[in-house]
Amino acid sequence: MASRNPKSSSSALLETSNLERERIFDLFRHWGYLEADLDPLGLFRPQPQSELQIDGEYAREARHFYCGTVGVEFMHITDPERRRWIQERFEAEPGSVDQERILEFLIRADVFEQVMQQRYLGTKRFSLEGNTALLPLIDEILDGAAQRGAINLVMGMSHRGRLNVLLHVARRTPEEIFAAFEDVDPRSVLGSGDVKYHLGATGEYITRSGGKVNIHLVSNPSHLEAVDPVTIGRTRAKQDRAGDGGREKYLPLLVHGDAAFAGQGITAETMNFADLPGYTTGGTVHILVNNLVGFTTNYREEHSERFSADLARRQSIPIFHVNAEDVDAVVRIGRIALEYRYTFGTDVVIDMIGYRRHGHSEVDDPTVTQPLLYKAIKAHPPLWEIYAEDAGIEAGDKVAQVKAEYEAGQKNAGSITKKPTMRDLPGYWTEYFGGRYKPEYEKETGVSTEELAELTQKLTTYPSGFHIHPKVKKLLEQRAEMGTGRRDVDYGMAEALAFASLVKAGIPIRMSGQDSRRGTFNQRHSVLLDIEDETEYVPLRNIAPGQARCDIYNSTLSEAGVMGFEYGYSRDYPEALVLWEAQFGDFANVAQAVIDQFVSAGEDKWGLLSGLVLLLPHGYEGQGPEHSSARIERFLQLAARDNFQICQPSNAAQYFHLLRRQALRHWRKPLVVFTPKSMLRHPDANSPLEDFTHQRFLPVVPDTGAEDAKRVLICTGKIGHELRVERQRRKDTSTAIIFLDQMYPFPEAELKAAIDQHPNAREVVWVQEEPANMGALFYTMPRLRHIAGERAVLSVKRSASPSPSTGSAGAHEMEQKTLISLALTGNKD
């Protein structure tokens, strides 16, 4: 068909040539990064692509942009505008950089490491040498961030280069850092504290253009990448606190090792948060300090794909690979990456490939495992020398001056006698404290009948015209009766009342977990859904004018990542009640490192507090080995020096008071709650409304109805109710049943008083559903012996077992019957 506007032959030619140019450029945009020159030592060789073996001007031009010392992966990004954005920046002349400033960073980084090496030979410091371009890179990121309104960088990283970052990014003094090497004041940390390359720090950074950014380097454990979700959670809390503009003001930066980034699953869990409403921070900047080796392991053994950073490709975000010895390119990439984060609000990844000058730590000899690599490294000059020569800058004086400066710092450190604290806590922590428990910390947690009725009205109503699901309607009708004293209150309503009363009093609530909005057991229904158009109505956000926020999210299917995030959130929102909920408590052990390294030990190692609540559904209901036990034993084993609280509220009112106590007290300690499953709606665990109005949480729920008891059974959770039912069926008047609702800190006086209410009892019996090698048995028995006086202390439990329970519902029933029968009548040991 003839065209109505026939083109001239020259414009047609031009179009053909444009198309050809585009075709060739597109090949390089797709695959150029594989042929980029990324390794300063030239050992990680380009991977030739047959499509790119093209001659001609266009190919030469495209190769110049895409196969130099930067390789960019961006063609997997699904938004064409974002691809175009990157393309425009790569296919343009590079901007200028401040070479004097860059050189000074490179010199400072290297000289600092050398001074440490001279003075503390044989001490681990995890040198940055070989990747010192990290400092000018962060400098550039901070400059761009400050220009876009950032006031705070929240930074998570592990060991590599951390001391250098403490000095040059967090701006701590050389004296403070050297004091850690001198190990001044060891008495102050007997049995606690942490090693120097894990400690957090705060500081103030003045950027190249004179902007000011506060630096917050997060304390981290050895467990690589565990700090990732914590850093993101902390950032999110700071952003939420700031309200509008929070995402511009608080920028998260994660620095990863190449082996850890590729290998650790928690990295993937954390990156998956990037665009989720409950977890996003408007984009994290990720930097891989890639030295192509992890301890003694070569990169070829670290990840199946070519790059450690390949994990990030599942997301629609750019990955910039850059040769760490083209420092100007590193800096420019930092600029582009930062601009991208602020323009599109997503994560960005900078994979900076350098090398590791020494062994994994400085006490490790790498020539044993990588002889050829280390031969090459030995012959390779330090980066500042290469850079100074290329830039034509004379550096000798600067080196001498910096050396003298750091040596003086090292000498002065000798006169420091008190261990320096390298951080200032934000003002919002002023009112809160940790340390040992004191009874005067307690607060009234009852709520008046009138207020409960008011809250109930708000909790159980919804806008007119809202099409509620019939099942939810019924639930709300029942709750309306509960909150006004016409029906006993169940756990679900107890929790709703606790939350409502707290947000009304100005205490924010944040909760996340798998299916937490509805509740795994259909018990929560915190978000009402219109069944005709799926609009949402959240009663807890409509309690009272001026109330605090209430954010309840369904989490990703993650434990370590989400628990780490919520722990981080709690660290920067002490006024809020922050809760993480397990689907079943059994799955919490996927987050064991977060529990061990942060929740349990954070205060002891770093003096950092958290009021995080872990809700862990627990109880033996015949659902099998992975739906029965939240591993009470593990938490009790970690308990020391009042590091956290471990509770199992035996009824709805106890749960209500426990949650309110946690929020209202200013003693900020994590709270582990073993929550019910079958007891959620069980009449025996429901509570009359009057129990919500006066009393507090009782660490021990005594048995006031069995004064002549010959034996006292002590237990926690569901088994206590089952024992009470069976006792009633048997018309047994010789058994008292006491609930230990707070296992830790151990309420010795209260428990002793509850036992002493039964003067004729000759036996004190610990009863648990769990096998003998699990549950609270090991913990309670010596404590019971301590308070039981003349009485015999016995126990009833399942036989020791490698797994928590049987997989057969029938076997479970038989076991449970035997257990209960033994507790009430049989022989115990």
| Residues that bind ligand TPP in the complex, under the rule CB under 6 A | 160, 222-224, 257-260, 289, 291, 293-295, 356, 360
Contact 92, 65 (CB under 8 A): no
Measured from the Cβ of residue 770, the count of other Cβ atoms closer than 10 Å reads 23
Q: Which of 784, 658, 782 is nearest to 715 (CA)?
A: 784
Beta carbon of residue 362, minimum distance to ligand TPP (angstroms, whole number): 12
Beta carbon of residue 258, minimum distance to ligand TPP (angstroms, whole number): 4
Within 8 A by CB and 6+ apart from 827, the residues are none
Starting at the edge strand found earlier in the chain, the sheet holding 70-73 runs 70-73, 319-323, 348-353, 285-290, 250-257, 152-157, 212-217, 201-206
CA distance 385 to 730: 88
CA distance 317 to 77: 6
Contact 319, 313 (CB under 8 A): yes
Q: For 464-513, list the strands marked E by DSSP.
A: 509-513
Which residue lies nearest ligand TPP, judged by its C-beta?
Answer: 257
- Nearer Cβ to ligand TPP, position 357 or 718? 357
- Nearer Cβ to ligand TPP, position 56 or 265? 265
Alpha helices in 75-173 (DSSP H): 80-90, 99-119, 134-147, 162-168
Q: What angle do CA 480, 481, 484 make, to 5 degrees?
A: 90
What is the pairing mode between strands 671-675 and 152-157? unpaired
Structure tokens at 785: 């012996």
- Nearer Cβ to ligand TPP, position 361 or 412? 361
Beta carbon of residue 636, minimum distance to ligand TPP (angstroms, whole number): 25
- Nearer Cβ to ligand TPP, position 160 or 517? 160
Beta carbon of residue 385, minimum distance to ligand TPP (angstroms, whole number): 22
- Nearer Cβ to ligand TPP, position 158 or 628? 158
Beta carbon of residue 299, minimum distance to ligand TPP (angstroms, whole number): 8
365 torsion bin: left (phi>0), alpha (psi -120 to 50), beta (else): beta
- Nearer Cβ to ligand TPP, position 224 or 700? 224
Classify the C-alpha dihedral 554-556-558-560 as positive or negative. Answer: negative
- Nearer Cβ to ligand TPP, position 126 or 406? 126
Beta carbon of residue 687, minimum distance to ligand TPP (angstroms, whole number): 44
- Nearer Cβ to ligand TPP, position 32 or 354? 354
Q: What angle do CA 118, 119, 121 make, to 5 degrees?
A: 70
Residue with tokens 């369904």: 554
- Nearer Cβ to ligand TPP, position 301 or 707? 301
Beta carbon of residue 818, minimum distance to ligand TPP (angstroms, whole number): 42
Beta carbon of residue 351, minimum distance to ligand TPP (angstroms, whole number): 12
CA distance 293 to 354: 10
- Nearer Cβ to ligand TPP, position 258 or 490? 258
Beta carbon of residue 373, minimum distance to ligand TPP (angstroms, whole number): 13
